[in-house]
Structure formats: structure tokens, C-alpha cells
Structure 1
Amino acid sequence: MTDARITVKQGDITKTEVDAIVNAANSSLLGGGGVDGAIHRAGGPAILEECYRIRERQGGCKTGEAVITTAGKLPAKYVIHTVGPVWNKGSEEEKTLLKNAYINSLKLAMENEVATVAFPNISTGIYRFPKKVAAEIAIDAVKAFLRKNRSIKQVVFVCFDQENYELYTSMMAEE
């Protein structure tokens, strides 16, 4: 069943106007490559400053977990940083950790009264998660969460590359 609250677009997540964007962070929360680096650069130093405070308080962010900071100069109000798993052999644990990254991000969004959320394609870059497997997990996790929770009004999958965009749009159309 298609959920009208889920949309897919291709583009730059740092320019997406939503209440919160999700960052595919690393456990250090200190920025990095890919979408993580782009979010830190576009959002400015305020994001990193809050990440430092989180690190002092809890020592980073574990795989599958999520933390929230300001969005700095971004058009969003918040950045939800989540750590996706590195693809190793495609174990059930890796798949569960990726699902948890989406679910815990949405839980944190709800706790902070976020109505609109944008997700990148978590773990599909340098963490080498196969794009099709990651897309299936992402879509299933978000749909399951939204079935039980009505406070989130819109989830946008923001695909940076054409391959992910085509995967997500075709999978959403199959529903």
C-alpha cells in the first residue's frame, strides 16, 4: 500500500526544505566525506559545535543509533545524525542496524515534534551497502514506522544519484 506521506526526489539534501534532514554520519560525529561532509560544510560550525557537546556527553553515536543537533545555516531546523552500518558480508545484523538507523531517526524526529523529514541513502556510499538492499530496508522501515505513527506528515528520500533515484521510484511505484 502506497503511503502519500513518502516521496522521492533527486537532488541535494542540504537544500531540502523540511523540519529535519538526516545525516549519514560516522560514529565520531565530526563530519567526513559524502553527505556527512556536505551537511557539515553547508550548515556551518554550529552543527560541529553541538556534535562536540554530544561526544563529551556520550562519546559519539553507535551504529544504528541517532542524535539531533541544530541545522545551522541549512533550511531545516534540525539535523538528525545516524550511523549506518558498513556492508561486510550482508549479515542479518548489518541489515538490522540499517533498519534501526531509519527507525531511531524517526523516533528522534517524533520526540522533537518534527513533521517533515528528509533522508539520504544511508550506507550506500563509502559504507558499500548494495543500493537495492538498502532501498528495500529504508522503504520498509519508514512505511512500518508511519503505519503506527501519524505525527510525521512527510518523509522525503533525497537521492543524490540517478541509480538510487530510479530504484526508490520504481520500488515505491510497485507498492
Structure 2
Amino acid sequence: MQAHARGHHAPLKSFMASFPERNDYKVITIIRNPYERAVSWYTYYRTPTYYNKHRRPGFFPGNMRALHYAQQPFLEFVKWYNRSFQSKWEMLPSVWWYTHKNKLYSDYQIRFENLEQDINKVSNELDMDIIKIPHNNKSSESFNIDDVYCDESITIVNRWYKEDFEKLGYEKK
């Protein structure tokens, strides 16, 4: 059985449809602070890795626009992304990825902000060793969240991730 994936990722509902015998496994999800997540995508689009990965024949024009707007101030990137947010699968709320039949499924939630500690906690609770997860695509560029966000970008990101704030316990600015 194979789950239907977008890119290299698949929403939980695809896995649940492919593997209905849920009693046999635990669902472990990794969630991230929505403000950090939006900045992470912004910095990823700014990297040579993204550019080199996507500059090829038949390159989707939207990706060229992402490259352009990622070189702009964060607010401009967010405003551009906001125009077609629902069609950008990678930026959909975590709740969208982890919901099946209108229920948020997660036996264990690992917060990206506490990755190692939460992995260790889950490992101990399940009495198993979970492999150390490499941090791929780590940006060499970092931004102080408070310096990047303004009232307008906060409003947009709050709207994008309304359900994540409500259901995952993250605080809005």
C-alpha cells in the first residue's frame, strides 16, 4: 500500500486510508511554531539549494516568483504567498496534515522547538530508540522573529495558522 503524497510528504488522511489497521501503530507528529514555520519557508526559498533544485526546464513559474519574493523583505514575501496560500501545500497548517475525518490524530506530538527533548521523551514512553533525525535543509541564514514580523505580517500568519494556534497550543502575537 502506498499513501498519496504531495512532494515528499503525505497528509495523515492518506496514510489512514492506506493503513486502516490503526491499532498496530502509533502516530507521532512533529509540529512547529507557526511564526517560525513561515520564516523557515522564507529562508529556505532564499537559499541556493532551493534555487538550484528548481531552476530546470519546465520550471513552474510560481517557483520563480517564490525566488523573487524571497529576496524581498519578509512582509512582501508573506503578502505574495497570501494571494494563493491555499494552493501552496507546503505551507498548509499542521492541523491540515494531521487531521483525518475531522479529528486531529496524534498519539505523540513532538515540537520542533524542543526536537531532541521531545524525541527522547517519546522514545522513553515507547521504550524504544528513535533514531536521531538529521536537520536537513537547515538555513545558514537566521532571522530574529521579532525583527522580521510587523503587525501586517502577524495578521496574515495568524489567519493562515488559526487552527494551529487554537488546536496545538501556540500563542498568537
RCO comparison, higher one (Cα < 8 Å, 6+):
2
The structure with the greater share of residues assigned to helix is: 2
Alignment TM-score > 0.5, same fold: no
Q: Which structure has the greater CA radius of gyration? A: 2
More strand by proportion, 1 or 2?
1
TM-score relative to the length of structure 1? 0.28
